[in-house]
Structure 1
Amino acid sequence: MQNTDDMTEEELEFNQMLDELGPRFVDWWGTGILPVDADLLPQTIPGYKTPYRLLPTGMRSTLTNTELTNLRKLARNLPCHFALGRNRNHQGLAAAIVRLWEKSLVVKIAIKRGIQNTNNKLMAEEIKNLTGGTLLLRNKFYIVIYRGKDFLPSSVAAALAEREELTKDIQNVEEQGRSISIAQPPDDGLDGHALAGTLAEFQEAQARWGREVTAKEQEEMKEASSRSEKEKLFRKLEHKLSIAQAKIHRAERLLSKIEASMVLADPCDDREMITDEEKSVFRRIGLRLKSYLPLGIRGVFDGVIENMHLHWKHREVVKLISKQKTLSFVEETARLLEYESGGILIAIERVPKGYALIFYRGKNYRRPINIRPRNLLTKAKALKRVVAMQRHEALSQHIAQLESNIKQMKLDLGIEGYDEQEEDSSDSENEDGTVDTSASYDEDQDNFDESSDEDEYDDYNEEIDS
């Protein structure tokens, strides 16, 4: 027996609560109040059921991370309520835990030491299934279980269960009365079924006051409905086309603004000539070079020319690898690099990584004072130029698809005047083959779409102006 003279008021209350649950575990290795020996509690209880639970309205059944942490901190400072060494048959322990939960939020169970084949996982799973609580902690020393937000004391649970049984009885009585009233022969001759809101009522009203719709009228109604749907889709496509035209007009202005700061160098008339033998030698040297300059989606900008001059400082030949897929684009890029750098294009070779461009610096090469040309775009502006070109190409394809869909829908709907509109749009083409998109939508729509699309282009305009 423990000496209760030195206990505080809280410890006395805790000790008295454990006395009501069962016998104590006298071989307790720890300090403080002795826990209840769970192995001495009944293994099975006849007619045991999981406690009745009901979650309050608007409350989440799961615990948040903060609530879980706070409950674990609370359980850390609590003394153990039970000491357990048995893996199964815990109905007596579950009943004691339910009684304890009426006064405590969590229950702390210590696993007995020195007992073979103890499995804390089996213990925790069975106790959780018997009580319906929430497992907070499980290790080889302790098991901590929270009673849950839907836990009800025994008195409240009994009252709610009684109320639920009473409600079920009332519902059963109402169902019996309803079935008896339906089984009785009706006086109005409706064969036990109510007429209001049924198909029979509709058919009777249709036969008395309505008229039958002929097959021709049904077909006309279907055609009118289909035509209205097509007209709605047609107006939607026209609205999409006007928005796309405004966007491509804005993209063209942005692209022209970017390319205005790019002034390409003219080809030099006094070009240095090299023999075929020298070309062959420089080609073999260039292909054997391990170091190369990559040409990405940005294309040719001032940084590429600067790196070419830095390579030519130590060697006569420089190799660039382009990721472009089409040979014509690669040749155009090679000519641009030749004009801007002043070097000599030796060869364009297909390699596993793309196309290799080999340039020779020349016999009379002199390194320029400014190796970064001022007439080309910077790295940031080159990227914006590529993005603007991709946007323009995507919008052009989108507009072409929309125009073909609109043309097909006009043919389906039988709308006249499409040929005249096509002729007017063809007259608005410029000399270079580009279409003046401002002629295909009014000024108000242009202003509206540009204002709605302003955020997409403002960051580009600000950096270009800077």
Structure 2
Amino acid sequence: MTNASVGVKANGETVRFSLNKQCDGNRLLMEEKKGTKIVKMSKKAKRNELRFYRLKAKKKINSPNPEVRIKYKLEKAKRKEAWLIENLTKFELTKAPAEAYDPEILTDEERHYLKRTDEKKKNYVQVGRRGIFGGAVLNMHLHWKKHETVKVVSKPCEPGKIHEYAEVLAQLSKGIVIDINPSNTIIFYRGKNY
């Protein structure tokens, strides 16, 4: 058995390994030594052969020598990788084009109108002491379901950090900064195509 050649056949979702055998579809076929006559294996013979492979693998897994165990795991991983790559080549996926960022251009009149309407509203989203987290962005999107603009308040803000918050929030929420007030409030517009 040391000179035996190993054959691999992947068919759909099943992978078949064979020693000195040819795999043909769902049948395991074995060549006789006398001639080129091909004999089907019985269910019992198949079961015994699979049992033999399982016992052989179990011996390698439970081996006291760590080198044998690692080699077996590497062989198994390589077989699995080859099988997965073979299956992946069957599927041709087209790459989706990257989303082009299309910022909306607002006129000065629109900016002024949105700024005035948002200043009258009492609703706001708070940025906490720890800075910007996903909760602030989520609250902005929830607010934008019913309103065009949202006011973001960051009370414990260091001087000059409000502009950094505005840039980061605009990038994360994909909103448009309309105004940054000195009282640490930022007004965002959701966009026309929201």
User: Bigger radius of gyration, 1 or 2?
Assistant: 1
TM range (shorter): 0.3 to 0.5
**TM-score (norm. length: structure 1):** 0.20
**TM-score (norm. length: structure 2):** 0.46
